[in-house]
Amino acid sequence: MLSTVQNPRFLLRQCRHFPPKRRRFHSSTPLFLSQPQTLASTDLSSSPPQSQILTIRDNLLNRRTTAVELAQLALTRLRITEPQIHSFISVSETVLREAEEIDGKIARNEELGPLAGVFVGVKDNICTADMPSTGGSRILENYRPPFDATAVKRVKDCGGIVVGKTNLDEFGMGSTTEGSAFQVTANPWDVSRVPGGSSGGSAAAVSARQCVVSLGSDTGGSVRQPASFCGVVGLKPTYGRVSRFGLMAYASSLDVIGCFGSSVADTGILLHAIAGYDRLDSTSSKHEVPNYTSQFMSISSLESKPLKGLRVGLIRETLDDGVDKAVVSSIVGAASHLEELGCTVTEVSLPSFSLGLPAYYILASSESSSNLSRYDGVRYGSQVGADRLNSLYGDSRAKGFGPEVKMRILMGTYALSAGYYDAYYKRAQQVLYNYGDYIFIYVS
């Protein structure tokens, strides 16, 4: 989500000290199935395999490699790339032990889960048992949850190995990772540039082949935007498709746990693993989870017009004045490519489109003001010593929160105050509910 207080490059100038040489990390060979590579030895000329997850599974079941060998390669890759990328805030200490357990299951001919041997990065605002879960904030610097988020538990139940916790803008409030209290993540394609955010660490980790897939969260574009910046597949599921239990609440009516992968197939497999109803989240959907990979087809079986019959709308308001010419050119180019593949592209108008952004900011800031009130140094968060209770609350929050979070709390508290609730928050809700079928609330 966009920052409200910082010059987008301010923290970059203050915090980033990357070497001037630009390095790129994509490789045509799957990282976890090859020998360790130096950064300079990678190649961007070829596309990654259709599914690293299925390739890993096939290699494990056919005894061409072991989970421990894959884990050692992954950790080696992490040690090589992390000093330049800074994708992870913390790395798991149990990776090799979990890999040994998978090898033991294979030796005993036990059934493997669909994510067995797959290394998964988890955004640091998603709780993981006995691992740091900071939300990218100093106020939770030493917090280790006693439980796994439902999405993380399902990943582990499917055999996935959590390799570490990825960097983010503090509590998901930002679009570059420059709002993190700990570090700034670099874009693997060009370390002088940002990876997007707030799930920038998760996107960069997949892009740099530090993990196979990763989990992020999306409130106003925080999965889709960094996926675009880093050249990976990012998916924001429909609200309620994935349980929010264990996700640190920012704007509860908008927060969604999403997926990153190097291919559509891997992203679909990960979504299938974590989706479904959860009694611990009253907003999770009870609809049956389909097999998202069942309709995938080999490219060789497609016609010259594989998208024939599909209609795509091009929103006129997204191409109006104020949009960068290069962005407009990219959108028009994508539309032309879709037409070449058989689509019918039609320009449509959404007159209420401009209401989405102000409504989003009011609702998100208001909900964050309420949700973040729990971090007071008593219930949650680092505590600052003080003689009076009010001073303890105030000093703990002042020291623990960064400037972006403080600004959004102030904005949200103002919008929810008695004199302005009807003028701001109530009107924003009316926009959401009255025009919800027509407004795409998406910030990028």
Active site residues: 123, 198, 222
Those residues with Cβ within 8 angstroms of residue 213's Cβ, 6 or more apart along the chain or in another chain: 53, 118, 120, 121, 206, 259, 260, 261, 262, 266, 267, 269, 270
- How does pLDDT run across 137-181, given as a tens digit for each residue? 999 999 999 999 999 999 999 999 999 999 999 999 999 999 999
- Res. 41 pLDDT band, cuts 50 70 90: very low
Instruction: Determine the average pLDDT of the residues in 405-432.
Output: 92
109's tokens: 């001919």
Residue 225, class by beta-carbon neighbours within 10 Å (0-12 exposed, 13-18 middle, 19+ buried)? buried
User: CA-CA distance, 274 to 257, in Å (whole number)?
Assistant: 9
- Res. 208 pLDDT band, cuts 50 70 90: very high
Instruction: Determine the average pLDDT of the residues in 387-408.
Output: 94
Predicted pLDDT at 37: 33
- Res. 50 pLDDT band, cuts 50 70 90: confident
Q: Look at residue 161 and give its three-state secondary structure.
A: strand
Mean pLDDT of the chain: 87
Spell out the alpha helix ranges (H) of 108-167: 150-157
User: CA-CA distance, 36 to 426, in Å (whole number)?
Assistant: 56
373's tokens: 């009130």
Instruction: Determine the average pLDDT of the residues in 372-384.
Output: 92
- Res. 19 pLDDT band, cuts 50 70 90: very low
- Res. 436 pLDDT band, cuts 50 70 90: low
- How does pLDDT run across 270-325, given as a tens digit for each residue? 999 999 999 999 999 999 999 888 877 776 777 788 888 899 999 988 888 788 89
- How does pLDDT run across 140-150, given as a tens digit for each residue? 999 999 999 99
- Comparing CA positions, the residue from 212, 180, 199 lying closest to residue 77 is 212
Predicted pLDDT at 317: 87
- How does pLDDT run across 87-109, given as a tens digit for each residue? 999 999 999 999 999 999 999 99
> What is each CA distance from 162 to 71, 93, 125, 241, in whole angstroms?
11, 10, 14, 22
- How does pLDDT run across 21-39, given as a tens digit for each residue? 333 333 333 444 433 333 3
Query: Residues of CATH 3.90.1300.10 domain(s) within the chain?
Result: 10-296
SS3 sequence of 351-389: CCHHHHHHHHHHHHHHHHHHHHHHECCCCECCCCCCCCH
pTM of the prediction? 0.85
User: CA-CA distance, 101 to 94, in Å (whole number)?
Assistant: 11
Predicted pLDDT at 45: 36
Residue 184 has pLDDT above 70, yes or no: yes
Instruction: Determine the average pLDDT of the residues in 401-415.
Output: 96
- Res. 2 pLDDT band, cuts 50 70 90: low
Residue 196 has pLDDT above 90, yes or no: yes
- How does pLDDT run across 338-375, given as a tens digit for each residue? 999 999 999 999 888 888 889 999 999 999 999 999 99
Residue position matching structure tokens 């795409």: 440
Predicted pLDDT at 3: 53
Instruction: Determine the average pLDDT of the residues in 185-197.
Output: 97
| Angle at the Cα of 28 from the Cα atoms of 226 and 237, rounded to 5 degrees | 35
User: CA-CA distance, 135 to 247, in Å (whole number)?
Assistant: 9
Residue 127 has pLDDT above 60, yes or no: yes
- Name the CATH topology of 10-296: Amidase signature (AS) enzymes (3.90.1300)
